[in-house]
């Protein structure tokens, strides 16, 4: 059966604030659909992949017409749902017999609604899709009923049928490697500052997260399933030999969850003498000196921490399950061992005041990570925040604005204009500090470092030139204790 897997056409305008689109934004390979494509190919189907990040809608429609698939699978996040609907409608108009399915975080959260929103859509896969896709394609090829395929919602005439949920895959090592050969890896480069060498790739260490943050959906479940360290090293070795990969980002919710597994994986990397640099995600309460040293010896150069707030009550509201004291200790330990940190922070937390947001920005400066990112809180479908929006604040704008770079949620304690102003100010305040600038200059080691710093400087200068909205300028609370653009430029 000819199967086509795609990400809908999109651009950085859909996902990033204007100042970051040109100089900072990066692109990573669509690992999720590459897993699905690999599973379908292993089952004997003819497979093709198209990534809408590097393909316009007219181009994709021409590709679909030329390839003439019998099955079209589309991976959808919420901010791309409108793009997905347009693709589905036009693809169906080209070929009314084409079976179209969507999967990913958005349809998993809004199952029946996805079918109701788009009459041309045939089915939804919810949860992890690798095993489901294989069974679904087998039924379609043999023209059998889909009723016994777990983990889908489909149209049966005028009825919408939902089958039982499929259990999470326990043995991640049973999956084939993602089908990176079906895309051009040269089209992909992580965001500025998130890599040291190219080409860069992605690797799965585990799936799942046991935490209960109000802003996070759990498409991979709350139980962490880890991979065999030898299998992880085997896959990395394959990418190095086949694609010349020099850097890896571990595509996993919580890399540092299982200390024993992490150390064994790092020892295996070291044993094979990989010429590789890599980065991973971590929680401040899931690291220690022994683990970090093992990671550094194996080529790790930075860790990504979701810090979120510099005010304890707001951490509690988010249900982060940690403390400011623990955050400071973890960052101090990370930096003392020569590892870099990338920290994310959230603005617009339920109950957060404007003054508390300023405290978070100052806390970020105190921590002094190598990179910091400041996001407005986003109520994505499938999260507690989205499901109980009236309890926490107000949802504003259309669903395609539910990105981490647009203000789509406003708590009762702030305004949209304040959050927008705070985010721009946060970048200016953090990256224009003399302490930070001097540390970045001291860290320059290669032409690549110089290039990355130059692009970051361009983004900062664009932010410095940007002006807050009239509403923000008129609000006296907003002006208190803020640096002016002139003061920032002088710094």
Domains of the chain with bracketed CATH: 2-162 (3.40.50.2300), 189-490 (3.80.30.20)
In this structure, is the dihedral angle defined by the CA atoms of residues 305, 309, 311 and 316, taken in order, positive or negative?
A: negative
Strand 409-411 to strand 393-395: parallel, antiparallel, or no bridges (unpaired)? antiparallel
**Please, are residues 190 and 133 in contact by the beta-carbon 8 Å criterion?**
no
Tell me, what's the pLDDT at 219? 80
CA atoms of 17 and 13, how far apart (whole Å): 7
Predicted TM-score of the model (pTM): 0.88
CA atoms of 356 and 364, how far apart (whole Å): 13
Tell me, what's the pLDDT at 489? 37
CA atoms of 142 and 139, how far apart (whole Å): 5
Helix (H) or strand (E) holding 162: strand 159-162
Tell me, what's the pLDDT at 28? 85
Tell me, what's the pLDDT at 477? 40
Of the candidates 130, 131, 121, the residue with the CA atom closest to the CA atom of residue 86: 121
Q: How does pLDDT run along the chain (491 residues), one tens digit per residue?
A: 999 999 999 876 666 655 555 555 578 889 999 999 999 999 999 999 999 989 999 999 999 999 999 999 999 998 899 999 999 999 999 999 999 999 999 999 999 999 999 999 999 999 999 999 999 999 999 999 999 999 999 999 889 999 999 999 999 999 999 999 999 988 888 777 677 888 888 999 999 999 999 999 878 888 899 999 999 999 999 999 999 999 999 988 899 999 999 999 999 999 999 999 999 999 999 999 999 999 999 999 999 999 999 999 999 999 999 999 999 999 999 999 999 999 999 999 999 999 999 999 999 999 999 999 999 999 999 999 999 999 999 998 777 677 777 899 999 999 999 999 999 999 999 999 998 888 878 777 667 666 666 556 666 666 666 555 433 433 434 433 333 333 333 33
> What are the helix (H) ranges across 319-373?
324-336, 354-367
List, edge to edge, every strand of the sheet that includes 371-376: 200-203, 247-250, 277-282, 300-308, 340-347, 371-376
CA atoms of 389 and 411, how far apart (whole Å): 9
Angle at 123 between CA 117 and CA 126, to 5 degrees: 95
Helix (H, G, I), strand (E, B) or coil at 265: helix
Tell me, what's the pLDDT at 14? 62
> What are the helix (H) ranges across 43-104?
57-67, 81-94
Tell me, what's the pLDDT at 303? 96
CA atoms of 37 and 176, how far apart (whole Å): 10
To the nearest 10°, report the CA torsion of 397, 399, 401, 402: 120
């Amino acid at each position: 059966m000819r199967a086509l897997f795609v990400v809908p056409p999109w651009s950085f305008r859909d996902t990033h604030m204007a100042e970051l689109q040109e100089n900072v934004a990066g692109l990573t390979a669509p690992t999720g659909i590459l897993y699905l494509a690999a599973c379908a190919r292993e089952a004997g189907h003819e497979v093709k992949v198209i990534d809408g990040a590097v393909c316009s809608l007219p181009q994709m429609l021409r590709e679909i017409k030329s390839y003439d698939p019998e099955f079209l699978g589309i991976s959808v996040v919420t901010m791309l749902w409108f793009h997905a609907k347009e693709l589905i409608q036009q693809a169906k108009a080209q070929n009314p017999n084409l079976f179209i399915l969507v999967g990913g975080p958005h349809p998993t959260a809004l199952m029946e609604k996805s079918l109701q929103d788009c009459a041309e859509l045939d089915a939804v896969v919810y949860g992890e899709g690798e095993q489901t896709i294989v069974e679904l394609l087998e039924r379609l090829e043999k023209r059998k009923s889909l009723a016994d395929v777990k983990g889908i919602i489909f149209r049966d005439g005028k009825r919408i049928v939902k089958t039982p949920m499929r259990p999470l895959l326990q043995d991640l090592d049973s999956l084939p490697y993602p089908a990176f050969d079906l895309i051009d890896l040269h089209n992909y480069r992580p965001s500025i500052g998130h890599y040291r060498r190219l080409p860069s790739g992605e690797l799965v260490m585990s799936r799942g997260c046991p935490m209960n943050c109000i802003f996070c959906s759990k498409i991979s479940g709350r139980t962490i399933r880890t991979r065999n360290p030898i299998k992880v090293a085997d896959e990395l070795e394959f990418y190095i030999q086949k694609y010349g990969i020099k850097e890896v980002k571990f595509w996993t919710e919580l890399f540092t969850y299982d200390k024993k597994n992490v150390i064994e994986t790092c020892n295996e990397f070291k044993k094979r003498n990989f010429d590789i640099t890599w980065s991973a995600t971590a929680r401040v309460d899931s690291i220690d000196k022994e683990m970090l040293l093992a990671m550094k010896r194996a080529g790790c150069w930075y860790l990504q921490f979701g810090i979120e707030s510099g005010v304890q009550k707001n951490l509690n509201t988010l249900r982060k399950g940690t403390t400011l004291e623990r955050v400071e200790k973890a960052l101090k330990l990370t930096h003392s061992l020569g590892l870099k940190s990338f920290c994310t922070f959230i603005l617009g937390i339920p109950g957060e005041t404007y003054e508390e947001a300023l405290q978070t920005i100052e806390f970020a400066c105190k921590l002094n990570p190598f990179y910091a990112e400041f996001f407005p809180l986003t109520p994505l479908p499938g999260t507690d925040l989205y499901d109980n929006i009236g309890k926490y604040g107000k949802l504003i704008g259309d669903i395609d604005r539910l990105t981490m770079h647009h203000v789509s949620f406003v708590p009762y304690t702030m305004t949209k204009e304040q959050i927008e102003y705070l985010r721009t100010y946060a970048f200016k305040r953090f990256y224009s500090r003399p302490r930070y600038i001097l540390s970045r200059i001291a860290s320059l080691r290669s032409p690549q470092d110089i290039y990355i710093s130059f692009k970051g400087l361009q983004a900062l200068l664009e932010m410095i030139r940007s002006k807050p909205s009239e509403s923000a300028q008129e609000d006296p609370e907003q002006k208190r204790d803020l640096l002016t653009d002139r003061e920032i430029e002088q710094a």
